[in-house]
Structure 1
């Protein structure tokens, strides 16, 4: 049944360092100084659970240990920036598109999404304003290939469970394109709603789910002109559309529950999230979360790209949902059984929490604090922050992956 891409729900041994973190709620400095124990996901495979964090402004990707929460280092994913900018500058169409997207984004966003291959040795990155996808060897940091997409912006991406296909939203072209990870060749595409955004594979790799946000540059008063807010289900082998669902507002971060039909989604302008039934195509509940002081005074047209709340993650057992309050500077842990709030973690004003991701063991929610260059680690069980990890400039997307233990030492020691 459909579930969130590559969620690894397994029983893992909690290391001593993880116990200390969970018990003490360590600071960023303490986490950065913590000893980095070898904690591979499997001693036989030589793979290690990690969180991959895309630092959008820095053009780097940080790698965080999935159990100790130590920052293992980073990799520069725009080593070819000068060459790519030269190619854009001499093409009037590309240049106009680049400048338009940069203005809408509020500056350069060089990393939109990133994840690691199943063997733990190759990093795939969708490079936002550069409108391309690139692959890097994690041992040498060499760029293996890069491929320009249609339109002018490379958005959210998803790696197939077998690691052979990388699906990326070509936002302004209103399609999702499928890239062969072996050589970067584009081998197909499928139609989406207006401004395709998030992509996810079902756990068995049979289906792709794509959601669209509509034209975010238009004001709320013109929501009728933003286009279609659509969830699209696609056969991953034929790339034929299987089913579509239309929601009333742009579909932001979303999750499909283990039952395969319960769909949770942040929506544009909604200070909370909805629970939706894919089998009946109906919203079951609209969960309106409380405004914090900053969010309460903001006008909807001042929300970052229409987002009030932007980040959802389900606990490993599906009993809790982590809802990221972007304009409210908090993360709330909500019970899925009755949609009541178990607890809230509050951040400094202007932190801009902007994404949520569940840890490999299902026990924690990782929240990117974009304006602070940090990742907050929140316990599903206690609804408290157990660690704060420094990364690079403007972290956004995070993905749970596995890295080969043999290449960890090749990472740049810089946090991001």
Structure 2
């Protein structure tokens, strides 16, 4: 009770509160949507943080943390690379942006959009979040086997907590007693006592690939997603941390977050392979809504009053705005390339216009899309080409294939893939028959309808490079 009262007092003093929404406590007051709030996305291919005014649903600009490809390939490159994860402080004054490729955590002032500190940690960090008391930042170092604990004031690493290999994300109980760490490489989530920094609980994951985890504001449950098998698991947030439910959600199950409204407490889950957000009650786990979105929904976060949910659309370079009363998309906002983690920060800008140090979206706003259909003619794979100048970064959200089988994304000289196959990327489907596939090159120029005799077509072929089988998916032709 003492901890709860302390948190409530801090919320009232800050003016922005913890909002009764994740990651805060249910007893904290709601914060109505206003022009002081900000919605942020970490844009992996443009290496930017997009800054959105949720009152007007407009992009204010981007915080440029790094350069696009190929400028970021220089051995003398100093910017950030693969901007991916996101978190924020309890007082809503500091935003965290995690960059996988440069092993960094950027501490960004929300009022001025300036980078105050940059901390460099171990290989391939994925997500970072402040402890509820605001004193520490826990970084899941997914390329290794530990949580890097940083002093929030200095951004210096103070300790490491050894966890199962490949920690995907850490989130905390609203009272700050526990940190919950799921894994992207090991089939186990662990619970850590925040005072002793020791593991006090273990929960079996039904697969080794968890990218995201959320704790409910009522302090009773923890939800996490399993991207490779298309499931979402729920366990008790308190000892003995017992499993409560496993839900079949769909291929490329990305992120989960919790929303509190007058109608109850709900879990919103992004399903990339279906381009949907699914909504579940947290009391009986029934599904109450399916919300169509744009291409490849990824991160999502509720507003401070739970009236909206903002979703980053990874392959559409947009944020979708969901009204939680009707569970419909009411707006879309253009943002940077390949949004991954997101954060909605109430009262992020208490004074001024919050426009300092923002840049225009520029070339990062240019993308084009292609569709691949299966042999039955039905659309199965959505491909986005993110403009990087002469080159494009290709990302394909592949679905509809047999599970755990090798395939190749290739260019073909004819629409049916019968001749001139040139492999772009080999991949293995996950247990749900899906995969995220990347390549880079001047692909838009040669797949356009006006490319003439040099035109090529994207196809998916069974097998491996050098051992290609039959074409299983083909680019739909205009």
Normalising by structure 1, what TM-score? Answer: 0.71
Q: CA offset at residue 114 of structure 1?
A: 2.9
1:112-131 matches, within 5 Å, as 112-117=84-89, 121-131=93-103
Query: Is contact 1:161-1:205 (8 Å) kept?
Result: yes
**Stretch moving more, 370-379 or 178-187:** 178-187
Match of 2:119 in 1: 147
- Determine which structure has the larger strand proportion and give its number: 2
User: How far apart in 2 are the matches of 1:288 and 1:62?
Assistant: 32
Q: CA offset at residue 140 of structure 1?
A: 6.0
Residues 10 and 413 (structure 1), Cα distance of their counterparts in 2 relative to 1, 3 Å cut = farther
Query: Is contact 1:333-1:380 (8 Å) kept?
Result: no
Q: In structure 2, list runs of 5 or more residues that go unmatched.
A: 5-20, 365-478
Q: Is 2:53 aligned against 1:61?
A: no
1:182-229 Cα deviation digits (max 9, x unpaired):
332101121112200111122233332211121xxxxxxxxxxxxx32
Residues 374 and 7 (structure 1), Cα distance of their counterparts in 2 relative to 1, 3 Å cut = farther
Q: CA offset at residue 138 of structure 1?
A: 5.3
Q: CA offset at residue 79 of structure 1?
A: 7.4
Residues 69 and 78 (structure 1), Cα distance of their counterparts in 2 relative to 1, 3 Å cut = same
Q: CA offset at residue 359 of structure 1?
A: 1.7
Per the alignment, in what secondary structure is the counterpart of residue 300 of structure 2? strand
Residues 241 and 383 (structure 1), Cα distance of their counterparts in 2 relative to 1, 3 Å cut = same
Q: Is 2:198 aligned against 1:240?
A: yes
Query: Is contact 2:174-2:219 (8 Å) kept?
Result: no
User: How far apart in 2 are the matches of 1:129 and 1:344?
Assistant: 34
Normalising by structure 2, what TM-score? Answer: 0.62
1:334-349 matches, within 5 Å, as 334-348=280-294
Q: 1:264 aligns with which of 211, 216, 223?
A: 223
User: How far apart in 2 are the matches of 1:13 and 1:182?
Assistant: 29
Q: CA offset at residue 321 of structure 1?
A: 1.8
Query: Is contact 1:313-1:365 (8 Å) kept?
Result: no
User: How far apart in 1 are the matches of 2:81 and 2:66?
Assistant: 11
Q: 1:389 aligns with which of 333, 337, 351?
A: 333
Match of 1:5 in 2: 23
User: How far apart in 1 are the matches of 2:95 and 2:67?
Assistant: 14
Q: CA offset at residue 371 of structure 1?
A: 0.8
Q: How many residues align?
A: 335
Match of 1:94 in 2: none
Query: Is contact 2:259-2:306 (8 Å) kept?
Result: yes
Q: In structure 1, list runs of 5 or more residues that go unmatched.
A: 15-38, 41-47, 90-107, 215-227, 296-307
Query: Is contact 1:54-1:112 (8 Å) kept?
Result: yes
Q: CA offset at residue 87 of structure 1?
A: 6.2
1:71-90 Cα deviation digits (max 9, x unpaired):
2322112379989963689x
Query: Is contact 1:192-1:211 (8 Å) kept?
Result: no
Match of 2:323 in 1: 379
- Determine which structure has the larger helix proportion and give its number: 1
User: How far apart in 2 are the matches of 1:244 and 1:277?
Assistant: 11
Q: CA offset at residue 377 of structure 1?
A: 1.4
Q: Which has the higher contact order (CA 8 A, sep 6+)?
A: 1
Match of 1:286 in 2: 246
Whose Rg is larger?
2
Match of 1:72 in 2: 60
1:358-402 Cα deviation digits (max 9, x unpaired):
221112222211011111112222121111111100001011224
User: How far apart in 2 are the matches of 1:188 and 1:172?
Assistant: 17
Q: Is 2:233 aligned against 1:274?
A: yes
